Structure 1
Amino acid sequence: MSAIVKEPSMLLQKELIARNYDAITSKHETGRKVASTFVPGNLNELLMCFGLVNNLPEINAIQNGMRKRSGDYIMEAEKRGHSEDVCTYVKADIGMMGKGAIAPNGRPFPVPDVLLLSYTGCYTFMKWFELLRSQYQCPTLMLHVPYEGDGHTTRNMRDYVVRQLQEVIIPGLEQVSGVKFDIDQLREHLRASARAEDDLVWCLEQGKRKPSPIDAYFGGVYYIGPIFTAFRGTPEAVAYYQALRGEVEARIAAGQGPVLPDGSSFDRQKYRLVVEGPPNWTSFREFWQMFSDEGAVVVASSYTKVGGLYDQGFRHDPDHPLESLADYCLGCYTNRSLPTRVDLLARYVEEYEADGLLINSIKSCNSFSAGQLMIMKEVERRTGRPGAFIETDLVDPRYFSAANVKNRLESYFQMIEQKRRSLGQAA
Structure 2
Amino acid sequence: MSANAQTEVIKDLSMLKQKEMIARNYDAITSAPETGQKVASTFVPGNLNELINSFGMLNNLPEINAINNGMRKQSGAMIMDAERSGHSEDVCTYVKADIGMMSKGNIAPNGKPMPAPDLLLLSYTGCFTFMKWFELLRKEYNCETVMLQVPYTGDGVVTDNMRDFVVKQLKEEVIPTLERVSGNKFDIDRLRENLARSAKAEDDLVWVLDSAKKVRSPIDAYFGGVYYIGPIFTAFRGTQDAIEYYQLLRAEIEKRMEAGLGPITPEGDMGEEKYRLVVEGPPNWTSFREFWKMFYDEGAVVVSSTYTKVGGVYDQGFRHDPENPLESLADYCLGCYTNRNMPSRVDMIENYMNDFQADGLLINSIKSCNSFSAGQLMMMNEIEKRTGKPGAFIETDLVDPRYFSAANVKNRLESYFQMVDQKRQSSRQF
Deviations 1:157-213 (CA, angstroms, capped at 9, x unpaired): 000000000000000100001100000100000000000000000000010001100
Q: Which letter maps to 1:123?
A: F
Deviations 1:230-262 (CA, angstroms, capped at 9, x unpaired): 000000000000000000000001000121101
Q: SS at 1:101's partner residue? A: coil
Pairing 1:190-339 to 2, within 5 Å after superposition: 190-263=195-268, 265-339=269-343
Q: Which runs of 4+ in 1 moved over 6 A?
A: none
Are 1:360 and 2:393 matched, yes or no?
no
- Looking at structure 1, the residues matched to 128 and 3 of structure 2 have their Cα atoms a distance apart, in angstroms, of 40
State which of 160, 178, 182 in structure 1 corresponds to 2:183: 178
CA contact (8 A) 1:2 1:262 kept: no
Deviations 1:245-299 (CA, angstroms, capped at 9, x unpaired): 0000000010001211012x12411000000000000000000000000000000
Kindly state the Cα deviation for residue 28 of structure 1 after the two structures are TM-superposed.
1.3
Q: Which letter maps to 1:98?
A: S
Provide the residue aligned with 1:345 in structure 2: 349
Are 1:406 and 2:421 matched, yes or no?
no
**Contiguous gaps of at least 5 residues in structure 1:** none
Are 1:95 and 2:111 matched, yes or no?
no
Are 1:85 and 2:90 matched, yes or no?
yes
Aligned CA-pair RMSD: 1.1
- Looking at structure 2, the residues matched to 253 and 267 of structure 1 have their Cα atoms a distance apart, in angstroms, of 16
Q: SS at 2:265's partner residue? A: coil
Provide the residue aligned with 1:104 in structure 2: 109
Are 1:130 and 2:132 matched, yes or no?
no
- Looking at structure 2, the residues matched to 63 and 221 of structure 1 have their Cα atoms a distance apart, in angstroms, of 12
CA contact (8 A) 1:281 1:394 kept: yes
State which of 22, 44, 49 in structure 2 corresponds to 1:39: 44
CA contact (8 A) 1:6 1:261 kept: no
Provide the residue aligned with 1:374 in structure 2: 378
CA contact (8 A) 1:208 1:299 kept: yes
Q: SS at 1:147's partner residue? A: coil
Provide the residue aligned with 2:392 in structure 1: 388
Q: SS at 1:388's partner residue? A: strand
- Looking at structure 2, the residues matched to 347 and 38 of structure 1 have their Cα atoms a distance apart, in angstroms, of 28
Are 1:12 and 2:17 matched, yes or no?
yes
- Looking at structure 1, the residues matched to 131 and 50 of structure 2 have their Cα atoms a distance apart, in angstroms, of 22
- Looking at structure 1, the residues matched to 100 and 11 of structure 2 have their Cα atoms a distance apart, in angstroms, of 30
CA contact (8 A) 1:221 1:304 kept: yes
- Looking at structure 2, the residues matched to 100 and 379 of structure 1 have their Cα atoms a distance apart, in angstroms, of 46
Q: SS at 1:424's partner residue? A: helix
Kindly state the Cα deviation for residue 11 of structure 1 after the two structures are TM-superposed.
2.3
Q: Percent same amino acid at aligned positions?
A: 74
Q: SS at 1:358's partner residue? A: strand
Deviations 1:67-126 (CA, angstroms, capped at 9, x unpaired): 000000000000100000000000000000011100000000000000000010000000
Deviations 1:314-360 (CA, angstroms, capped at 9, x unpaired): 00000000000000000000000000000000110011000010000
Count of residues in correspondence between the two structures: 425
CA contact (8 A) 1:211 1:267 kept: no
- Looking at structure 2, the residues matched to 311 and 251 of structure 1 have their Cα atoms a distance apart, in angstroms, of 21
**Contiguous gaps of at least 5 residues in structure 2:** none
Kindly state the Cα deviation for residue 2 of structure 1 after the two structures are TM-superposed.
4.1
Pairing 1:151-166 to 2, within 5 Å after superposition: 151-166=156-171
- Looking at structure 1, the residues matched to 24 and 348 of structure 2 have their Cα atoms a distance apart, in angstroms, of 35
